[in-house]
Amino acid sequence: MEILNFPYLGTSAEPKPLKLKKLDISRNRRIPVDSLLALLEAVGDTLEELNLRFCSLPFMDILSLYLGNASSARKPMRNLNLDNLIRENPSTELPQLEKIKATRSIPTMKTLCLNRIHLSVLLPLPRSNKVVSNISFSKA
Amino acid sequence: MFYLTTATTEAVLRNCTQLEDLKLRNCDELARLVSPASSLVEFSSPVTDGEKEKEKEQEKEKEKEKQEIDWVSSVTSLDVTGCKGLQTSGWADLFPHLPQLRHLYLPINVSARDALELLPSFCPLLETLSLDSIPVVTDSLIGHLAHNLPSLTSLSVSNCTKLTGSSMTYLIWGTGNILFFFKWKF
């Protein structure tokens, strides 16, 4: 177990997450969604850009967190790249997506990349928000 | 077609004493950026009076070599992505001369994990770090960097296939004591 080789003892018993503004973990398929979501919660609103291209993650868990859900006070990220995200449960996405569309706007998002996501129902979501300046779609 | 070689690079950069932003992407012919550290090792104490002159000459040469690589000390941003010819051994020689470095983009062929572990010691001000596709990047290395680079705001580890969820945990704990976390968890 790799943790046994971790030799660094900090002085604090509390997490002191890095103030990450930009994180690119694309093409990493061994990072589970719960670990990623825990990091996103810890980092909070400081994270402005997240690249998850070709990651193997539940699409809606990621999208709902950052396009928002009713209970989240989080500001959406300015740049979110979900190109080629490998989705696990596409059959459950439509009802969740409808809920998101009804409850949330994305006022500060600048770039949303959803190329080759295989989800045509996504189209009305960003198009309905005129603030998003750069949205890229393409067919699979 | 013009290819940037090590000799050309050294010749040009030695005159750039105030250089801050250096981008050398995809310079395949580039083997190193600074002279090997072995040539900069201080000479030991003199043995006899007759050797003192030689000693002084050698010291002058060493000093001259040091001055020749001083150009890197002002660099705050270094992008060498795609420089496949850069020698692995060169990183340990380079990092000590980059105390002001804030943005670093490394190529895929960095195979010396030891050199990456030295980064926080020599470049403590790092804010941006790109380790894309470097095979020696592991969870514990991310933990080491997260723990020792408190100014890090941008991290790119695309296609680092050894990474797992543990690396996310290390980023969460940052400079905190992660052993408390594992003690609590298990």
**Does A85 map to a domain?**
yes
Chain A stretch 35-74, residues whose beta carbon is closer than 8 A to a beta carbon of chain B:
35-36, 38-39, 42-43, 46, 51, 53
Instruction: Report yes or no: B112 and B88 within 8 Å, Cβ to Cβ.
Output: yes
Q: What are phi and psi of B152, to 5 degrees?
A: -65, 120
Counting as low any pLDDT under 50, the low residues of chain A are 1-7, 68-70, 103-106, 120-121, 123-133, 139-140
Domain that holds residue A121: 19-136
- Identify the pLDDT of residue B22: 87
Interatomic CA distance for residues B103 and B76, integer angstroms: 6
Tally of domains within chain A: 1
**Does A121 map to a domain?**
yes
At B126 the three-state DSSP class reads coil
Measured between beta carbons, which residues in chain A are less than 8 angstroms from residue B156?
22-24, 51
Residue (of A108, A63, A69, A65) closest to A85 by Cα position: A63
**Does A14 map to a domain?**
no
Q: How far is A124 from chain B (nearest CA, A)?
A: 30
Residue range A36-69, pLDDT digits in tens: 888 888 887 788 888 888 888 777 677 655 554 4
Counting as low any pLDDT under 50, the low residues of chain B are 1, 37-46, 183-186
Would the pTM of this model clear 0.80, i.e. be above it?
A: no
At A68 the three-state DSSP class reads coil
**Does A1 map to a domain?**
no
When CB atoms are compared, the residue of A13, A17, A34 closest to B171 is: A17
What dotted CATH number matches B17-34+69-185?
3.80.10.10
